[in-house]
Protein backbone atom coordinates (compact mmCIF):
# COMPACT_ATOMS: atom_id res chain seq x y z
CA UNK A 1 0.00 0.00 0.00
CA UNK A 2 1.29 3.47 -0.88
CA UNK A 3 2.58 5.45 2.06
CA UNK A 4 0.59 8.43 3.34
CA UNK A 5 2.51 11.57 2.31
CA UNK A 6 2.52 14.24 5.02
CA UNK A 7 3.48 17.92 5.07
CA UNK A 8 4.28 19.35 8.53
CA UNK A 9 3.45 23.04 9.06
CA UNK A 10 4.68 24.61 12.32
CA UNK A 11 6.73 27.70 13.13
CA UNK A 12 8.83 25.76 15.69
CA UNK A 13 11.68 23.71 14.25
CA UNK A 14 11.68 21.67 17.46
CA UNK A 15 8.00 20.75 17.11
CA UNK A 16 8.47 19.95 13.42
CA UNK A 17 11.29 17.62 14.41
CA UNK A 18 9.19 15.90 17.08
CA UNK A 19 6.26 15.42 14.71
CA UNK A 20 8.55 14.14 11.96
CA UNK A 21 10.27 11.69 14.33
CA UNK A 22 6.88 10.42 15.53
CA UNK A 23 5.47 9.93 12.04
CA UNK A 24 8.54 8.36 10.46
CA UNK A 25 8.44 5.55 13.02
CA UNK A 26 5.37 4.29 11.17
CA UNK A 27 6.36 2.46 7.97
CA UNK A 28 3.08 3.48 6.31
CA UNK A 29 3.76 7.24 6.68
CA UNK A 30 6.20 9.38 4.70
CA UNK A 31 7.05 12.96 5.77
CA UNK A 32 7.63 14.66 2.43
CA UNK A 33 8.22 18.22 3.61
CA UNK A 34 8.09 20.88 6.31
CA UNK A 35 7.06 24.53 6.36
CA UNK A 36 7.55 27.21 9.01
CA UNK A 37 4.60 29.43 8.12
CA UNK A 38 1.50 29.42 5.90
CA UNK A 39 3.25 31.21 3.03
CA UNK A 40 5.92 28.50 2.88
CA UNK A 41 3.18 25.91 3.30
CA UNK A 42 1.21 27.25 0.33
CA UNK A 43 4.21 26.78 -1.96
CA UNK A 44 4.95 23.36 -0.49
CA UNK A 45 1.36 22.21 -1.09
CA UNK A 46 1.62 23.24 -4.75
CA UNK A 47 5.00 21.57 -5.20
CA UNK A 48 4.52 18.39 -3.17
CA UNK A 49 0.75 17.69 -3.28
CA UNK A 50 0.63 15.99 0.17
CA UNK A 51 -2.09 13.57 1.22
CA UNK A 52 -2.35 15.12 4.71
CA UNK A 53 -1.17 18.33 6.40
CA UNK A 54 -0.43 18.75 10.10
CA UNK A 55 -1.09 22.40 10.87
CA UNK A 56 -0.12 24.48 13.90
CA UNK A 57 -2.82 26.78 15.24
CA UNK A 58 -0.55 29.70 16.19
CA UNK A 59 1.92 30.84 13.52
CA UNK A 60 3.43 34.11 12.21
CA UNK A 61 2.20 35.92 9.06
CA UNK A 62 -1.18 34.12 9.12
CA UNK A 63 -2.62 32.01 11.93
CA UNK A 64 -3.57 28.41 11.36
CA UNK A 65 -7.31 29.09 11.42
CA UNK A 66 -7.09 31.68 8.65
CA UNK A 67 -4.90 29.37 6.60
CA UNK A 68 -7.18 26.39 7.19
CA UNK A 69 -10.20 28.35 5.97
CA UNK A 70 -8.34 29.23 2.77
CA UNK A 71 -7.38 25.57 2.28
CA UNK A 72 -10.94 24.34 2.83
CA UNK A 73 -12.40 26.92 0.45
CA UNK A 74 -9.83 26.74 -2.33
CA UNK A 75 -8.19 23.31 -2.13
CA UNK A 76 -9.96 21.04 0.38
CA UNK A 77 -7.66 18.36 1.78
CA UNK A 78 -7.21 16.41 5.02
CA UNK A 79 -5.77 18.57 7.82
CA UNK A 80 -4.88 17.60 11.39
CA UNK A 81 -4.55 20.54 13.76
CA UNK A 82 -1.70 20.72 16.28
CA UNK A 83 -2.59 22.74 19.37
CA UNK A 84 -1.91 23.15 23.06
CA UNK A 85 -4.72 21.34 24.89
CA UNK A 86 -5.54 24.34 27.08
CA UNK A 87 -8.94 25.98 27.38
CA UNK A 88 -7.92 28.65 24.86
CA UNK A 89 -6.35 26.05 22.59
CA UNK A 90 -9.49 23.92 22.78
CA UNK A 91 -11.72 26.80 21.67
CA UNK A 92 -9.52 27.56 18.66
CA UNK A 93 -9.18 23.89 17.73
CA UNK A 94 -12.96 23.44 17.85
CA UNK A 95 -13.24 26.29 15.38
CA UNK A 96 -10.79 24.42 13.15
CA UNK A 97 -12.80 21.19 13.40
CA UNK A 98 -15.92 23.14 12.49
CA UNK A 99 -14.12 24.51 9.43
CA UNK A 100 -13.38 20.97 8.30
CA UNK A 101 -10.15 19.81 9.95
CA UNK A 102 -10.34 16.03 10.32
CA UNK A 103 -8.82 15.77 13.79
CA UNK A 104 -6.50 17.39 16.32
CA UNK A 105 -3.50 16.46 18.43
CA UNK A 106 -2.02 18.21 21.46
CA UNK A 107 1.49 19.51 21.96
CA UNK A 108 3.90 18.07 22.93
CA UNK A 109 2.42 14.55 23.19
CA UNK A 110 2.01 13.22 19.67
CA UNK A 111 1.06 9.66 20.61
CA UNK A 112 -1.48 8.35 18.14
CA UNK A 113 -0.67 10.99 15.50
CA UNK A 114 0.39 8.43 12.88
CA UNK A 115 -2.94 6.60 13.26
CA UNK A 116 -4.82 9.89 12.93
CA UNK A 117 -2.84 10.76 9.80
CA UNK A 118 -3.72 7.43 8.18
CA UNK A 119 -7.41 7.88 8.99
CA UNK A 120 -7.31 11.46 7.67
CA UNK A 121 -5.83 10.27 4.38
CA UNK A 122 -9.00 8.22 3.79
CA UNK A 123 -11.44 10.87 5.01
CA UNK A 124 -14.04 12.50 2.78
CA UNK A 125 -13.29 16.21 2.69
CA UNK A 126 -15.82 18.84 1.61
CA UNK A 127 -15.32 22.48 0.81
CA UNK A 128 -16.13 24.71 3.78
CA UNK A 129 -19.82 25.63 3.77
CA UNK A 130 -20.68 22.94 1.22
CA UNK A 131 -22.91 20.82 3.47
CA UNK A 132 -26.54 22.03 3.34
CA UNK A 133 -28.24 22.81 6.64
CA UNK A 134 -31.77 21.74 7.48
CA UNK A 135 -34.18 24.51 8.57
CA UNK A 136 -34.92 24.77 12.29
CA UNK A 137 -37.96 22.69 13.21
CA UNK A 138 -40.78 24.91 14.46
CA UNK A 139 -44.43 24.62 15.31
CA UNK A 140 -45.86 22.48 18.09
CA UNK A 141 -43.13 19.85 18.26
CA UNK A 142 -43.60 17.51 21.23
CA UNK A 143 -41.71 14.33 22.12
CA UNK A 144 -41.31 14.89 25.84
CA UNK A 145 -41.51 11.22 26.84
CA UNK A 146 -38.72 10.09 24.52
CA UNK A 147 -34.95 10.16 24.72
CA UNK A 148 -32.57 10.69 21.81
CA UNK A 149 -29.04 9.25 22.08
CA UNK A 150 -26.28 10.22 19.63
CA UNK A 151 -22.77 8.83 19.19
CA UNK A 152 -19.97 10.31 17.07
CA UNK A 153 -16.21 10.51 16.71
CA UNK A 154 -13.89 11.70 13.90
CA UNK A 155 -15.76 14.40 11.96
CA UNK A 156 -18.33 14.63 14.73
CA UNK A 157 -17.92 18.31 15.55
CA UNK A 158 -19.11 19.41 12.13
CA UNK A 159 -21.74 16.67 12.02
CA UNK A 160 -23.22 17.53 15.42
CA UNK A 161 -23.35 21.24 14.62
CA UNK A 162 -25.18 20.45 11.36
CA UNK A 163 -27.60 18.06 13.04
CA UNK A 164 -28.39 19.98 16.22
CA UNK A 165 -28.72 23.40 14.61
CA UNK A 166 -32.01 22.17 13.10
CA UNK A 167 -33.46 21.18 16.49
CA UNK A 168 -36.39 23.11 17.97
CA UNK A 169 -36.32 24.60 21.46
CA UNK A 170 -38.69 21.80 22.53
CA UNK A 171 -36.49 18.93 21.30
CA UNK A 172 -36.53 15.60 23.17
CA UNK A 173 -34.03 15.13 25.98
CA UNK A 174 -30.84 14.37 24.05
CA UNK A 175 -27.62 12.72 25.21
CA UNK A 176 -24.41 12.76 23.17
CA UNK A 177 -21.16 10.86 23.45
CA UNK A 178 -18.53 12.39 21.18
CA UNK A 179 -14.95 11.09 21.38
CA UNK A 180 -13.09 14.21 22.48
CA UNK A 181 -10.32 15.24 24.90
CA UNK A 182 -11.42 16.34 28.38
CA UNK A 183 -10.45 19.99 27.82
CA UNK A 184 -12.66 20.20 24.72
CA UNK A 185 -16.11 19.08 25.82
CA UNK A 186 -16.94 22.10 27.98
CA UNK A 187 -16.00 24.49 25.16
CA UNK A 188 -17.89 22.42 22.62
CA UNK A 189 -21.04 22.33 24.76
CA UNK A 190 -20.84 26.11 25.16
CA UNK A 191 -20.42 26.51 21.40
CA UNK A 192 -23.46 24.32 20.71
CA UNK A 193 -25.47 26.22 23.31
CA UNK A 194 -24.79 29.49 21.49
CA UNK A 195 -25.84 28.26 18.05
CA UNK A 196 -28.69 25.84 18.86
CA UNK A 197 -32.25 26.60 19.99
CA UNK A 198 -32.27 24.03 22.85
CA UNK A 199 -30.11 24.42 25.97
CA UNK A 200 -26.82 22.52 25.67
CA UNK A 201 -24.47 21.69 28.54
CA UNK A 202 -21.66 19.37 29.49
CA UNK A 203 -23.40 16.61 31.45
CA UNK A 204 -22.91 16.54 35.22
CA UNK A 205 -23.66 13.61 37.50
CA UNK A 206 -27.31 13.77 38.58
CA UNK A 207 -28.51 16.22 35.91
CA UNK A 208 -32.25 15.58 35.38
CA UNK A 209 -33.16 14.78 31.77
CA UNK A 210 -35.58 17.40 30.48
CA UNK A 211 -37.09 18.16 27.06
CA UNK A 212 -35.41 21.07 25.35
CA UNK A 213 -32.03 20.10 26.84
CA UNK A 214 -28.98 18.44 25.28
CA UNK A 215 -26.30 16.78 27.43
CA UNK A 216 -22.76 16.21 26.15
CA UNK A 217 -20.62 13.54 27.81
CA UNK A 218 -17.53 15.01 29.50
CA UNK A 219 -14.31 13.88 27.87
CA UNK A 220 -11.68 11.70 29.46
CA UNK A 221 -12.50 10.27 32.86
CA UNK A 222 -16.05 8.85 32.85
CA UNK A 223 -18.80 7.26 30.75
CA UNK A 224 -22.24 8.87 30.39
CA UNK A 225 -25.31 6.74 31.17
CA UNK A 226 -29.00 7.25 31.90
CA UNK A 227 -30.10 6.39 35.44
CA UNK A 228 -33.79 5.62 36.03
CA UNK A 229 -36.72 5.86 33.61
CA UNK A 230 -39.45 7.64 35.60
CA UNK A 231 -37.33 10.57 36.68
CA UNK A 232 -34.23 9.90 34.55
CA UNK A 233 -30.91 11.56 35.29
CA UNK A 234 -27.44 11.65 33.84
CA UNK A 235 -25.02 9.29 35.52
CA UNK A 236 -21.25 9.63 35.12
CA UNK A 237 -19.54 6.29 35.63
CA UNK A 238 -15.89 5.92 36.55
CA UNK A 239 -15.03 2.68 34.72
CA UNK A 240 -12.38 1.35 32.33
CA UNK A 241 -12.35 2.29 28.66
CA UNK A 242 -14.72 0.46 26.32
CA UNK A 243 -13.59 -0.08 22.71
CA UNK A 244 -10.59 2.03 23.65
CA UNK A 245 -12.75 5.03 24.58
CA UNK A 246 -13.97 6.83 27.67
CA UNK A 247 -16.63 8.07 27.27
CA UNK A 248 -17.88 5.25 25.08
CA UNK A 249 -20.87 5.39 22.74
CA UNK A 250 -21.64 1.74 23.49
CA UNK A 251 -21.98 2.49 27.21
CA UNK A 252 -24.48 5.28 26.53
CA UNK A 253 -26.52 3.27 24.04
CA UNK A 254 -26.71 0.18 26.29
CA UNK A 255 -28.00 2.29 29.18
CA UNK A 256 -30.69 3.84 26.96
CA UNK A 257 -31.71 0.39 25.73
CA UNK A 258 -32.11 -0.80 29.34
CA UNK A 259 -33.94 2.26 30.62
CA UNK A 260 -36.02 3.50 27.70
CA UNK A 261 -36.33 0.82 25.02
CA UNK A 262 -39.15 1.78 22.66
CA UNK A 263 -39.27 5.31 24.10
CA UNK A 264 -35.91 6.11 22.50
CA UNK A 265 -34.17 6.87 19.22
CA UNK A 266 -30.48 6.17 18.56
CA UNK A 267 -28.27 7.89 15.98
CA UNK A 268 -24.70 6.99 15.05
CA UNK A 269 -22.65 9.56 13.16
CA UNK A 270 -19.27 9.69 11.47
CA UNK A 271 -16.30 8.16 13.27
CA UNK A 272 -13.47 5.66 13.17
CA UNK A 273 -13.81 2.16 14.61
CA UNK A 274 -16.75 0.19 15.98
CA UNK A 275 -17.77 2.01 19.16
CA UNK A 276 -21.56 2.23 19.38
CA UNK A 277 -22.44 -0.66 17.07
CA UNK A 278 -23.30 -3.18 19.80
CA UNK A 279 -25.12 -0.60 21.91
CA UNK A 280 -27.21 0.62 18.98
CA UNK A 281 -28.14 -2.98 18.19
CA UNK A 282 -29.27 -3.38 21.81
CA UNK A 283 -31.41 -0.26 21.43
CA UNK A 284 -33.01 -1.55 18.23
CA UNK A 285 -33.64 -4.97 19.79
CA UNK A 286 -35.35 -3.20 22.72
CA UNK A 287 -37.76 -1.39 20.37
CA UNK A 288 -35.91 1.85 19.71
CA UNK A 289 -35.76 3.42 16.26
CA UNK A 290 -32.24 3.82 14.89
CA UNK A 291 -30.46 5.86 12.22
CA UNK A 292 -26.92 5.89 10.84
CA UNK A 293 -25.14 8.57 8.85
CA UNK A 294 -24.63 7.43 5.26
CA UNK A 295 -21.25 6.78 3.67
CA UNK A 296 -21.40 9.69 1.23
CA UNK A 297 -21.64 12.34 3.98
CA UNK A 298 -19.49 10.70 6.67
CA UNK A 299 -15.99 12.10 7.08
CA UNK A 300 -14.99 8.60 8.24
CA UNK A 301 -17.47 5.82 7.49
CA UNK A 302 -16.32 3.53 10.29
CA UNK A 303 -18.75 3.60 13.21
CA UNK A 304 -21.87 3.95 11.01
CA UNK A 305 -20.65 1.13 8.75
CA UNK A 306 -19.97 -1.22 11.67
CA UNK A 307 -23.43 -0.53 13.10
CA UNK A 308 -25.13 -0.97 9.73
CA UNK A 309 -23.36 -4.28 9.04
CA UNK A 310 -24.38 -5.53 12.50
CA UNK A 311 -28.05 -4.80 11.78
CA UNK A 312 -28.19 -2.01 14.34
CA UNK A 313 -29.12 0.71 11.83
CA UNK A 314 -32.71 0.76 10.67
CA UNK A 315 -32.02 3.38 7.98
CA UNK A 316 -29.00 5.28 6.65
CA UNK A 317 -29.52 9.02 6.15
CA UNK A 318 -27.47 11.92 4.81
CA UNK A 319 -26.07 14.43 7.29
CA UNK A 320 -28.39 17.23 6.18
CA UNK A 321 -31.45 14.99 6.67
CA UNK A 322 -30.54 13.04 9.79
CA UNK A 323 -31.64 15.72 12.28
CA UNK A 324 -35.19 16.07 10.91
CA UNK A 325 -35.40 12.28 10.51
CA UNK A 326 -34.42 11.72 14.16
CA UNK A 327 -37.00 14.27 15.35
CA UNK A 328 -39.73 12.60 13.29
CA UNK A 329 -38.88 9.23 14.83
CA UNK A 330 -38.98 10.71 18.33
CA UNK A 331 -42.50 11.99 17.63
CA UNK A 332 -43.47 8.54 16.34
CA UNK A 333 -42.15 6.88 19.49
CA UNK A 334 -43.94 9.49 21.61
CA UNK A 335 -47.30 8.60 19.99
CA UNK A 336 -46.66 4.91 20.69
CA UNK A 337 -46.21 5.52 24.41
CA UNK A 338 -49.03 7.95 25.22
Catalytic positions, please? 153, 179, 275
Other C-beta atoms within 10 Å of 222: how many?
19
Residues 6+ apart with CB under 8 A from 222: 236, 237, 238, 239, 246, 247
Three-state secondary-structure class, residue 226: strand
**Entry field: residues in the chain:** 338
Three-state secondary-structure class, residue 275: coil
Rg (CA), the chain: 20
Q: Where are the alpha helices (DSSP H) in the chain?
A: 13-24, 38-48, 64-74, 87-99, 113-121, 156-164, 182-195, 249-259, 277-285, 303-310, 319-337
Phi, psi of 25 (to 5 degrees): -70, -20
- Exposure string of 54-72, with b = 16+ CB inside 10 Å and e = fewer, is bbbbbbeeeebbebbbebb
Amino acid sequence: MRKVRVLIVDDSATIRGLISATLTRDPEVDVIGEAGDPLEAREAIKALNPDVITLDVEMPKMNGIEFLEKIMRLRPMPVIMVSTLTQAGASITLEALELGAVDCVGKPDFEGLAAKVKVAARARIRSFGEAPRAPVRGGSYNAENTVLAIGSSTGGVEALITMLSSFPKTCPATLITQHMPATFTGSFAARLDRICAPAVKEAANGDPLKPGHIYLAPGGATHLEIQGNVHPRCKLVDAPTVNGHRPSVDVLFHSVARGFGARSVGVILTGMGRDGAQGLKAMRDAGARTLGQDEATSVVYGMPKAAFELGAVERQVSLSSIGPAALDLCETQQRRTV
